[in-house]
A and B are shown apart, each in its own frame.
Chain A
Amino acid sequence: MNHNPQSSDGKHDDDSALSDFLASLMDYTPTIPDELVEHYLSKSGFQSPDVRLIKLVAVATQKFVAEVASDALMHCKARQAAVVKDKRDKQQKDKRLILTMDDLSKSLREYGVNVKHQEYFADSPSTGIDPASREE
C-alpha cells in the first residue's frame, strides 16, 4: 500500500517524461527522413496515424547506425594507431578515416549481424594457381 502512491508518482513522472520527449521529437528532425521510415514500416505491416511514432523509430534507427559507425571508427583508429607505431612517416597519409568492410564487419559482429566480405573474386577455380599445375 505504501509504495503504491510512490510508484504511481514515479509512473506519472515517467509518463510525463515520455510525453515531453515525444513532444520534443516534433521539433527535432532526425537525419533519416520520415518518408523512408514510413515506407519500410508500412512494408512490414506497421500501421499508425501518429507521426511522433515514426519520428521515434527514425531516431532509434539513427542511434543504432551512429553506434555501429562509432564502433567502426574506433576499430579504424585503433588500426591506424598500430600502423603509426611502426612507421611514423605515414602518419600524415593515413589521417583520412575511411569506413571499410573490415571495420564494419567487426563492429556489426557485436550487434549480432554477421557480415563476411569476399576477399577477392576469381574468374575460374584455377585462377592464381601456378601455370604448371593449371595445365594438369
Chain B
Amino acid sequence: MAEAEEPLFVGLSDISISQDIPIGGEITIPMRSHTQEFDSSTLNESVRNTIMHDLKAVGKKFMHVLYSRKSNTLLRDWDLWGPLILCVTLALMLQRGTVDGEKDGGPQFAEVFVIVWFGAVTITLNSKLLGGNISFFQSLCVLGYCILPLIVAMMICRLVLLAGPGPVNFMIWLFVVAVMFAWSVIASTAFLADSQPPNHKILAVYPVFQFYFVISWMILTFTPQ
C-alpha cells in the first residue's frame, strides 16, 4: 500500500505558493453548533421554555428506552432529571398508608432512594473497574432511565389489583412484572455491555440483572390495603 501512495505525495515538494490564496472558511460541526445555539439562548428564553425543552428531552429518552432502539441519545445527551423523576415516582408508588397505625414493613421512601441510587453507583463503579469505557454519569443515566418499564409494570399492577386480590390477578401481575424486568435488563444491557471488553461482559451484566431483580421484588411485595 505504501508503494501505491508514494507517487501521490512525491510531487508535493514541488508545490510552492507564490501568491496569496485565500484560505478561509467555516469549521463547524453541525451537531455542536446546534447545542451551542441552545446554550447561548437558554439564558434569554422564558423559564417555561427551558422546562419544556428539558421535559421534551426526558420524554424523548423515555421513548428510546421503551422502544429499545440502538440509539446513542441516552449516552450522548445524558441527563439525571429522568432518573430522578422515575426514582421519586417509584418511591411514592411503593408507599402505602399505615395500616392499623403500624408501619407495615414496606420499603420506606428513603430505602427505595438509597437502593436505586447506591445500586446504580455501585454498578457503575463495578463496570468502570472492570475496564469499561463508559463515563460515570452516562452509566447512571442509562441505569436510571431503564427503570421506566418497571414503573409501567407498577402502574399496571395497581390497576390490576384494584380489581381485587385473587390468584388470576396475581398471575397476571407476576407475568407483567417478569416481562418488564426482562425489558429493563435487555434495554440497559444493550447500552452497557457494548462498553466492556468481551471477556468481562457477563461480569458487568450480572450486577445489572441483580439490581433490576431487587426493584422487581420490591414491586412484587407491594400489597395495597
Q: Is this pair of chains taken from one and the same complex?
A: no
A interface residue numbers (CB < 8 A to B): none
B interface residue numbers (CB < 8 A to A): none
